[in-house]
Amino acid sequence: MRERFKRLTDLFADGRPVPLPDGSHLWVQVLNPFERDECISDAQAARARLVMALKTAGAERDKVNARFLERGRDAMINELAQVKTDGRLSDLVSEIQDDPEWKERLEIVNRTDLTSTAKPLSAEEEDLIAEINKDFFDELRKREADERDYWVRELSRSTDEQIIDDYVDAWINKRGGELASAEYTAVEMWYSTRFCDATVNSDGTLDHNPCNGHNDRVFESKADAIHAPGGLQEIIKAVLQELAMGTRDPKDSGSPASSSDSSPLPSEQAESTPSIPAETPNARPGT
């Protein structure tokens, strides 16, 4: 019965072998829903803990007060307007996707896979797709600029005290989000990294029969994952990123990058998007 159950679960196991410098391998397993819920719960708890602690201590408000005096009201309004605009970026993408005027053009791009068309695209077709992509991002930048201008007007009506309060909240939430992301990654590494005893077949493929389902975790605790060598962590994180991308539509490559320069508050700039996202980009779980 146990062997039959093992064969059943192996059918649904999803992961990837990771080659190591000595020729051996690790296995990075895609988390099941229960393990992913644990990652999210730990990330949310870490974020709530930091946000609550910073708001209670009040030290962050002193820093923002000093920054307000140093930079001036207009500079703080502009920074805060960009933060609020960045937070609306996914919504702006969705609004374009839902716009009837864009539906046909987006359908063309989202349903065109250059690697699997029945016949190679003509030069005119390639030019059309390039033009749609350019028009899409031009429209996104325009709506982003309009959104930012809206927030500048709204914030300009606020008192200095209200601007400082909003800035403090945005800064604390950013720090909380960064901690939540780090916590999520640590738990994900802990759960997903498994020992792999695969042998190499004559054709160069790996035989995972000796691995017994990759059930043995490399890290005994979250602390072990956190204190693992940096090089090992980077390898595991890269594979987890690839596995996460593999679950998305090929054309959904993340949030489009903001057109603004970086500021102290907005989250890290996303990678550039080669084609129009098929779905609204989502934030990392737990953040």
pLDDT digits (tens, 9 = 90+) for 7-19: 444 444 578 888 8
Q: Check residue 6 and give its pLDDT.
A: 47
Q: Check residue 109 and give its pLDDT.
A: 82
C-alpha dihedral sign at 182, 188, 190, 193: negative
Task: Determine what percent of the chain is predicted with pLDDT higher than 70.
Answer: 79
Kindly state whether residue 257 falls inside one of the protein's structural domains: no
Kindly state whether residue 117 falls inside one of the protein's structural domains: yes
Q: Check residue 251 and give its pLDDT.
A: 38
Judge contact between 112 and 89, C-beta under 8 A: no
Kindly state whether residue 96 falls inside one of the protein's structural domains: yes
For residue 102, the enclosing domain spans: 2-246
Kindly report which listed range (31-35, 111-115, 280-284) carries the lowest average pLDDT score: 280-284
Q: Check residue 14 and give its pLDDT.
A: 76
Kindly state whether residue 107 falls inside one of the protein's structural domains: yes
Nearest alpha-carbon partner for 46 in 184, 141, 207: 184
Q: Mean pLDDT across the stretch 225-242? A: 91
Q: Check residue 78 and give its pLDDT.
A: 94
Mean pLDDT, the chain, whole residue set: 80
Q: Check residue 284 and give its pLDDT.
A: 42
Q: Who has greater pLDDT, 204 or 62?
A: 62
Q: Who has greater pLDDT, 253 or 52?
A: 52
Torsion of CA 262, 263, 269, 272, to 10 degrees: -30
Kindly report which listed range (35-49, 85-99, 218-232, 252-266) carries the lowest average pLDDT score: 252-266
Q: What distance in Å separates the CA atoms of residue 98 and residue 56, rounded to the nearest whole number?
A: 42
Residue 224 pLDDT > 90 = yes
Q: Check residue 194 and give its pLDDT.
A: 92
Q: Check residue 21 and give its pLDDT.
A: 86
Confidence of residue 116 (pLDDT cuts 50, 70, 90): low
Kindly state whether residue 202 falls inside one of the protein's structural domains: yes
Q: What is the pLDDT of residues 196-221, one digit of tens each?
A: 988 888 887 888 888 877 888 999 99
Confidence of residue 286 (pLDDT cuts 50, 70, 90): very low
Q: Mean pLDDT across the stretch 21-33? A: 88
Kindly state whether residue 274 falls inside one of the protein's structural domains: no
Residue 273 pLDDT > 80 = no
Kindly state whether residue 187 falls inside one of the protein's structural domains: yes
Domain count, the chain: 1
Kindly state whether residue 254 falls inside one of the protein's structural domains: no
